[in-house]
Structure 1
Amino acid sequence: MNQQTSTGPGTSSVVIEPELKYYRVRTEIETILSGLEEGDAVPSERELAARFTVARETVRQALRDLLVEGRIERRGRGTVVASPKLVQPLSIRSYTEGALSAGRVPSRKVVTFERMSADDGLATELGIEVGDSVVHLERVLFADGEKIGLESTFLPDSRFGEMLDAFDATTSLYAAIRSIGVVFASATERIETVLASPREATLVESTTSMPMLLLHRTSVDPDGVPIERVRSLYRGDRIAFLTTLRE
């Protein structure tokens, strides 16, 4: 495609850039992927560069885009067609409930289960005093055996300590909270895009250059009393969120 220049009375020249070479290559790779099944091997960078007569860096950039979008994934030393992203509804439900509703098998691995003192920010969000005891539960989240996120939950020890002392941290926390009669009435949630720290990337088997979806949630009961403060970090290549908007 050649560059074109558009001019008009009283205007300066505008250069219409040619289609990026890597984007053309990406489109060609997408055509290849459409003919493959989940788990099938993707041709190597060397093969693709030779097929499209481009530099390997051009192929690498196209593959990087598809990796971020979750179309492909690294497996060992190779690249394969990825499974579909887990689509989670934005609602007052646990990760377990959301994954099950999507037909996936949820599981968790405990990283941290401790008591700590609330700082100013945590005390405000949980409606407690600075220095009060808080239970911190950090877990890696899995879907069908694949690591997709890292969740940190903070709960007032005075309200949930006894329940948590007997809690199996590999099971649903929301189910345990509801079992003692606590009702989730509403939640405030903020979503943003971030990059993982080296520790977080290692825990979810990702990289520090892979975009992550960060969710901050504070849930309250029908009386407006805070139940939890949650920080959930999800792999942007393995999960998406869905919500229904009504006027």
Structure 2
Amino acid sequence: MEATEVGADVAPGDTRGGRAEFALPDRLPKSYRVRTELETILRDLDEGDPVPSERDLAVRFEVARETVRQALRDLLVEGRIRRQGRGTVVSRPKMVQPLSLRSYTEGAISYGRVPGRLLVSWDDIPADPDTARDLAVPVGTSVMHLERVLLADGERIGLESTFLPLHRFAGLRTTYDPSTSLYAAVRGSGVIFGQATERIETVLASPREAALLECTTALPLLLLHRRSLDAAGDPIERVRGLYRGDRIAFEAHLTQ
């Protein structure tokens, strides 16, 4: 494909004048053009409004239905639209979860959503090397493992696996309701959260994870690793959280 020159007599990547100039393609993919037009249409629609059908969009934009289908797939992955029955409707905005020492419950409520959880498993397991390191226990030590599906207004948006040192939190077995906030229960036991380290990556779901999150294995997920310490610097938890990239976003507040 030939390129259209940007800036007279300036080669791609030339930084003369303090800025780089690059050659741009003279033609954008049809699916990108269709997606741009679709975004304009979506701005005039409300949550739950139907999106025009593939056939109607193909006729309107004078492109093949596969071109429209690709643009719709991109918007589905981004969470701008969602399937409903045999059609497609406009999605509500993604829930924004703050990266902080607040619980998922607090974050969901602050965004006007109703939080919930479905218990998948709750058992004691031997600590593997990574878990043992993060919880400061010997490898093979029994640790508490809690796996739950996270809900927002009844919709599955995350899958959270939490590992806790059993010697500190064995009492949760008789006092804690796993459909509620674990952070509230930990704080209620007298533990004060001091700090946490988090790392976020993008991954694809395994078949089991996709089934629990009611999504496809092709949907990008946000994988969050967290290690939390109490005010004295002792480990509280190790968390592996998977979140649907089309339903949730994370936000950090930074200060100097």
Q: Secondary structure in 2 aligned to 1:32?
A: helix
Q: How do 1:1-247 and structure 2 match up within 5 A?
A: 4=4, 8=9, 16-247=25-256
- Which amino acid is 2:127 matched to? A
Q: CA deviation at 1:165?
A: 3.2
Return the offset for 1:99. Answer: 0.5
Tell me the percent identity.
64
Per-residue deviation, residues 11-43 of structure 1 (Å, max 9, x unmatched) = 9xx673312211111111112212211111111
| TM-score of the superposed pair, with normalisation by structure 2 | 0.90
Number of residues of Structure 1 aligned to a counterpart in Structure 2 = 245
Where does structure 2 lack aligned partners over 5 or more consecutive residues? 13-22
Q: Which amino acid aligns with 1:99?
A: A
Deviations 1:119-141 (A, max 9, x none): 11111110111111111111111
TM-score (norm 1): 0.93
Distance in 2 between the 1:10 and 1:144 partners?
53
SS of the aligned residue for 2:171 comes to helix
What do the CA deviations read for 1:216-247 (whole angstroms, capped 9, x no partner)? Answer: 00000111110000011000111111111112
Alpha-carbon displacement from aligned partner over 1:197-234 (angstroms, at most 9, x marks no partner):
11111111111111111100000011111000001100
Aligned counterparts of 2:185 and 2:5: Cα–Cα separation in 1: 65
- Rounded Cα–Cα distance in structure 2 between residues aligned with 1:191 and 1:3: 37
